[in-house]
A and B are shown apart, each in its own frame.
Chain A
Amino acid sequence: MPSMKTLPILQDHGQPQRLSGKPGQRSLWQSIQELEGRSSGRAGEFAAGAAEVPPELSRRSFLQILGASAALAGLGACQPPREKIVPYVKDPKEDRPGKRFHYATALALDGYATGLVLAASDGRPVKVEGNPLHPTNQGASSAWDQAALLDLYDPQRAKGIWRRGQPLSWRGFLAEVQKLARAHDADGGAKLAFLVAPDASPLLAELRRRLSTRFPRARFLAWAPATADHAAEGARIAFGRPVDMHLRLDPARVLLSLDADFLAGHGESLRLTREFARHREPGAEMNRLYVAEAAMTVTGAAADHRLRMRPSEVAGFARAVAAHLGALPGAEALEDPARDRAARVVAADLARNRGRSVVTAGERQPAAVHALAHAMNAALGNVGTTVVYTKPVLGDATPTAAALAELAKAIQAGQVDTLVVTAWNPVYAAPAGLDLGALLAKVPNAIYHSLRDDETSRRCSWRVAASHPFESWGDARARDGSVSLVQPVIAPLYESVNAADLFAAFLEQGDKGAFQHLRDYWQARSGLQGQAFQARWEGWLTRGLVPGTAEPADGPALNAAAVAAAARSPAPKGEGLELALAPSYGVFDGRFATNAWLQELPDPITKVTWDNPAYLSEATARRLGLADGQVATLTLQGRSVQAPVAVMPGHADDCVTLALGYGRSDGSATSKGVGVDAYELRTAPDAWFAVGLGVAPGKGKHKFAVTQGHLSMEGRPLALDFDAQEWAHGHGGHELEAQRGPVPSAQPPVDYSKEDYKWGMSVDLSRCTGCNACVVACQEENNIPVVGAEQVAKGRNMAWLRIDRYFAGPAADPQTVGQPVMCQHCETAPCEYVCPVNATVHSPEGLNEMVYNRCVGTRYCSNNCPYKVRRFNFLDWRGEVPAVQTMLFNPDVTVRSRGVMEKCTYCVQRIERARIDARVAGKKIEFVQSACQQACPAEAIVFGNLNDKASKVARLQEDARRYDLLHDLGTRPRTTYLARIRNPNPDLA
């Protein structure tokens, strides 16, 4: 477990730093960086760069090229210029050149926090890791958590404070806000409004409380695009009051998900994935998952039975199941016999597992379905075992869909003079038909606090740049209520303000600093003084957790009658197809659209990057005469968008799924012209799905940038899976025998048993959900560049670790397997012997080493690699890198130049760091994790020393499910796979 020190070197800079004004600050990170120099600042042969879209390569600048080639001619003997060494002026006491520090902090998404550990080197965070002590993620982290680092160093971030185009200093801003506040004192803030992002931060709650005491009549509205209040409403129906529902999947054996994608994107998905995955190994403990959904989700892909239906049909299905469970009076048969049978079987299976089953409803489903889920869980006696209720964590900042409408009404009525917006980009994400932009322009003082200048900043008279969470002090709560302190790991890179300081400004305490506010609040809350508190405080910071803050379970009483009543509400009727909206796995609701890592992150199911196709089923596409990639006009209630369609295997018929968050017009180079804006079809009442969609085939074909063009395994034994039953009867066993064990060879194998370490990896396909966390973690750890849609389409995606997705069975309703593939580190590596310059060779410990600086780029190794895991720098992917982005680089990994081959190294830099630390201390390596393993919430990837028989990886390589990919080639891979086991219900076969 990483060593966690207490306060970072920035402790004494609680309040936002304006670096420009503080040389001390600047010399802090800059000079260390140069002193240690391994950052790209010292790239030498290897050009510096950062992950951003490469400059578009046109033929126009031919003179440039000539110049360049002339320069090439000049290459040769001449000596390089001498570097400068720039030491500190004053030593920061904690920091040492090149040392890795780990700071516990937290990152909240729509109010729910994940506990993180930031690895900082030379005063700058270089890696995001999950906090092993944190209950909701237990050391894992999501793709979004990982990618937050890129946002931190993004040169496109908003900078400074602006009022009507005029820059304001922090002090000037405070003065102005003071004037405003005093003006509003007169009428108790009747014309003062706050549109806040959902958050559970006790500090912010406290500040809001103090604000509402100063301005009793001020409006506080919480809003976020991707959250509707269906769940809360459902709870209100079932229990008469809002409660949070928490799943405990460890004891659960049968799971029914009603359009709930709880394994991804959900506030607790990291914990749920871990608990779910733990019980995917064959045996009595193995769980079974039923998923009812339209578009295939990560959860649906992991299901044993995926019941595809339109979102509007889920309610009916839920009613049927509930009726069979006796949770709802008056069973009605579903018109579709197959589905009716499914409902019976599922109900029976659930009933067989009373107290050990779970029914969960998706955020996108109407309140009634949530209420039904509550009723079913109650009927199944799951409450207390697999289902736990607590008070809502979000409290006063619970987002409501009505918030914007209410705000709009107020503005119309001229009741808002000052509006403070900390919610993300309402102008872009507001429901169709609500022209918030025009309204905001009417507000005399609309103060928009955001990380980036976007559609909303353009309409607001004030723009206040927000500090990145990694730059700010604060606190946050996980979905289970546990509080984490948020501590900065670097001083703000740009002049920016933290939310707490913004609110405090209206209390005329803006100059006190978030750090002081936070400390005071928690001191008051702890009731401790001086040293006693200091010790406690440092303990919290160290562990990144305030103990005993998790919400206690509470037992609300179910109102069955109300549920029954609500359940009777008719399903939406209408002509034409159905439109289903969903947050994107990459850009979420659009707030990550400027993050190149997430834009280029392949969709877990369809492997599309840089795009949001309109997904539909093959049958529907055929019926509508649409070809894959053809542009179609989607019309709903008179509004329409042009979107290219794509066939998604297993998608429900007569339904089109479109991801939110694309088609941005925020002027960012990254998100410009990527995808279509689904918000234009999104209305307040039908936030997630609506009936009556018209689809008209249009002209023009669109080429999607997919990282995997072929979705069939062609009957080859690649990603193997078996049914639990046949597995139990030993079938599959001998099938696997053919995929492992020694292969006869003329070459006597090298003996690695004498070495201290024999590195190896094991990937469990049964556990893997394909959530992509490992992919981004790898990208971050290894300085992997982004290439842009055009190059991805050309087949030049650079990801060292990819997740292959294969479909089998009927295209309408296929089964699917995801398979993470990275360098297999073959002991008889085919790539090695063909390299003419010995640039890829074998280490005594069995690593397949790739020596970038020796590589001349013949690409022969890639041709001869049967796994095609090697990646070539076809162009200079990075171009000129802004200084700030050079801080993003992991200083332990070379930044590769154009013309060089690269690939997964088993995070050799981590191995070597661990080795040196251990050997200096005269010990053996005790702990080393690969980046993908560390991020994986499902514990599907295990890396370690095969010569240590006690190690987990060594045990897993002996597992009955173990097999080698392309075993018959005799490559003797060090990465081995564990076959996936499905647990279908025989009654439903």
Chain B
Amino acid sequence: MSALFSPRWNFLSRLSLVVVAAGAVGTLVALWGYWRTPYGERLQEEVVQPVMFDHRHHVVDDLVDCRYCHFNVERGASAGIPSTEMCLNCHSQIWNKSPKLEKVRESYFIGTPIEWVRVHQVPAFAYFNHSIHVAKGIGCVTCHGRVDKMPAVTKVASLTMSWCLECHRNPAPNLRPADQITSMAWEPPSDPAARAALAAELMKKNDVQSRVSCTTCHR
């Protein structure tokens, strides 16, 4: 009578152990990685908007300042999304026949709001406030990226808590002069010494006191 197990069993049993162990570890690592990939952070994700609004064109070609439409950015928590009325300030004059703007005119005359899809979304329990960031010298680009290069706006920063903390712990490198807040192209001086000097100066001038205590954002 032959043995209980055939020699192959040794290999198989060891293999199966390895597979189980690797599987367990692999899953954890995969999960860990997922949230750090652009996919997990929903970066560069195509978002289809009801109206094909092109920031690129408005910012670069028409030189419209961010604050024209995002009127509240210096005064409140929300940057403000332009009303249909505001679109028509210009578009009652130009492109007022364009089929692309049909939805806008419809919204205006029927009185139904345009439902935009939110791209930059922080959780309900995180209270972000635009005005204070702008007032202390954080530019639009820092969080929203080169909107002037985006046909349709996509998310460029993870907006995770640790991402916020990173800057709140060392805001200096991200500061810019008040007149450059909405500038898309502005770059800090390339010379490290000058850059450091500017950062230090702005920290002082704007009296930046970035905080990391919980109630700064969670109330």
Contacts and interface: CB of A to CB of B under 8 A. Distances in A.
Whether chain A touches chain B in the assembled complex (some CB pair under 8 Å): yes
Interface of A: 23-24, 27, 31, 35-38, 42-46, 77, 79-80, 82-91, 96-99, 841, 843-845, 847, 849, 851-854, 892-894, 905, 908-909, 912, 916, 919-920, 922
A892 B132 CA distance: 16
B174 to A, nearest CB: 17
B162 interface: no
A27 B127 contact: no
A46 B113 contact: no
By DSSP majority rule, is chain A's interface helix, strand, loop, or mixed?
Answer: loop
B86 A91 contact: yes
Contacts of B215: 843, 847, 849, 851, 905, 908, 912
Interface residues of B, number: 48
A892 B118 contact: no
A36 B131 CA distance: 14
B134 to A, nearest CB: 8
B111 interface: yes
A135 to B, nearest CB: 34
Contacts, number: 145
B195 interface: no
Nearest to B132: A916
Nearest to A921: B135
Contacts of B136: 919
B218 A97 contact: no
A854 B211 CA distance: 18
Contacts of B34: 77
A753 B145 CA distance: 40
Contacts of A853: 123, 125-126, 218
B84 A98 contact: no
Nearest to B75: A96
Given A31-B113, A82-B47, A919-B135, A97 B118 contact: no
Given A847-B215, A916-B132, A89 B116 contact: no
B113 A87 contact: yes
A89 B125 contact: no
B219 A912 contact: yes
Interface in B26-53: 31, 34, 42, 47
B77 A89 contact: no
Contacts of B211: 844
Given A44-B124, A82-B121, A841 B116 contact: no
Contact of B82 (A79, A87, A849): A87
Nearest to A85: B116
A742 B122 CA distance: 43
A908 B76 contact: no
B147 to A, nearest CB: 16
Residue among A35, A45, A85 with the most chain B CB within 10 A? A85
Contacts of A38: 77, 124, 127
Given A82-B118, A894-B218, A905-B215, A89 B108 contact: yes
A919 B206 CA distance: 9
B219 A85 contact: no
A912 B86 CA distance: 31
Nearest to A756: B209
Contact of A23 (B76, B112, B126): B112
A96 B76 contact: yes
Interface in B93-126: 107-108, 111-119, 121, 123-126
B21 interface: no
Contacts of A23: 111-112
B72 interface: yes
A683 to B, nearest CB: 53
Contacts of A99: 75-76
A853 B77 CA distance: 20
B219 A894 contact: yes
Contacts of A892: 127, 219
Nearest to A99: B76
Contacts of A98: 72, 76-78
Nearest to B114: A87
Interface in B152-211: 207, 209, 211
Contacts of B1: none
Contacts of A908: 215, 219
